[in-house]
Copies of this chain bind each other. A is one copy, B any other.
Amino acid sequence: MNQESPLPKRTEIAELGEFGLIRRLTENFPLAQPSSLVGIGDDAAVIAQDGQCTLLTTDMMLEGIHFDLAYFPLAHLGYKAVVTNLSDICAMNGMPGQILVSIAASNRFSVEALELLYQGIRQACSDYRVDLVGGDTCSSLRGLVISVTAIGRQVKEKIAYRHGARPGDLLYVTGNLGGAYLGVQLLEREKQLFLENPTIQPDLEGQSQVIGRFLKPRARNDVVLWLDKAGVVPTAMIDLSDGLSSDLMHLCKASGTGAEIQEALLPIEEEAKLLALKFQVDPMNCALNGGEDYELLFAISPEDAQRIQFLPGLHYIGSCLEASEGISLVGSSGRRHPLKAQGWQHF
C-alpha cells in the first residue's frame, strides 16, 4: 500500500533541463537487438531489416506547455503535430510513410472539436502521402495531449545522422529562418491585446508568412527527394526545431567538429525582418535562436557542392572546422563571435 520507499534525495527536473533529464533517464539502456542500429540521440531511431531501414520518431504535445488553444486552431494543431514528426524523419534523409496518433482530451472538448483536430491530421497525411495506421484515444482530467509517432524508411547507406560531418564539409540550410519565432510573438501580443480588450480586432495584416510558419510548418521531404535525385547524401543532417545555433551545436557535438557560419549568408524570412523591426528585436537573433522553423541544416562533402548548386532554396551558410576551433558566427565586419545556444526550452 505504500508509495515507493522514501526517496533519499530530491533533484528538481529544472536543475537538469530537458536534454540532461533525457540523458539521466535513458543511460543504462544498452541495445540488445541486432536490428537496433541507432537508439536515442538522433532525430529518429533506426531499425535495420535487410538493408532497408525503418526510421522511428515520436513527440508529445501538451496544452498549456506546447500550445495555447487561444490562438492555435485545432486543425492547425493536428497538422503541426504530424508535420513536426515527419520533419524528424526527413532530418535522417528518410521518407515518412506512416504515423500513429494518440490523443487524450477532457470532456471540455466536444466530438466536433476533436474532428477539427483530425481534419488537420488528415490534411497533413494527404499533403505528405503518409498513412494514419494506429493510435490511442483516451480521456484526460484536463487539457489536451497529443502524441504522434512517425515511421519512415531509407536504405542504410543513405541515412544521414547527426554525427557524420567532417572538418571542411560545407553547411547548408533549406528555406528561410526566424519566421516561426516572430509568428508566435505576434500571436502572443494579439492574445494579450485581446485579453485586455475583447472588442479589439487582431492586426495580422501582411503577416501570413510568419504566422503560417508557426501554425502550419512544413516538413522538407522535398529536399530529401532533391538530394536523392542529385545523388548526394549529406554527411550529417538535423532539423531546425530548437533554433539554428542550438541545432548546429547538436550536429557539431555529435560529429566532433567545430563550425563557422557567416552572418551575411543566413537566410532570414523577409516578413520576419520587417516584423523584427516593428518589435524592436534583432532579426539575426531571431534567425539564430528562434526555433520551430523545421527547415533542415545539413553538411556535405565539398566535392558534392556542384551537384546541388541548382537545387532550389538551399543556402550555403558556412563550413565545418576542427573541434578545437569552436563554433562561431562571422559578422559582416569579419569578426568572429562564439555561438551560444539559446533555443526554446520547454522545461
Question: In the bound complex, do residue A113 and residue B7 qualify as a contact, i.e. CB atoms below 8 Å apart?
Answer: yes
CA distance A45 to B191 in the complex (A): 41
Binary flags per residue of A2-14, CB closer than 8 Å to B gives 1, else 0: 1110011111111
Q: Does A147 contact B (CB under 8 A)?
A: yes
Question: In the bound complex, do residue A194 and residue B1 qualify as a contact, i.e. CB atoms below 8 Å apart?
Answer: yes
CA distance A58 to B107 in the complex (A): 22
CA distance A9 to B22 in the complex (A): 43
A75 CB contacts on chain B under 8 angstroms: 4
Which residues does A use to contact B, with CB under 8 Å? 1-4, 7-16, 18, 21-22, 24-26, 28-29, 31-33, 35-36, 38-40, 44-45, 47, 49-50, 52, 54, 56-60, 62, 64-66, 69-71, 73-75, 97-98, 100, 102-105, 107, 109-116, 118, 122, 125, 129-143, 145, 147, 149, 151, 153, 187, 190-191, 194, 201-202, 204, 346-347
What are 26 A-B pairs with beta-carbon distances under 8 A? A1-B71, A1-B194, A2-B202, A11-B112, A13-B109, A13-B114, A15-B111, A21-B137, A22-B135, A26-B135, A28-B122, A29-B132, A33-B130, A35-B98, A36-B97, A36-B98, A36-B133, A39-B133, A40-B135, A44-B134, A45-B98, A49-B52, A56-B149, A100-B149, A138-B346, A139-B347
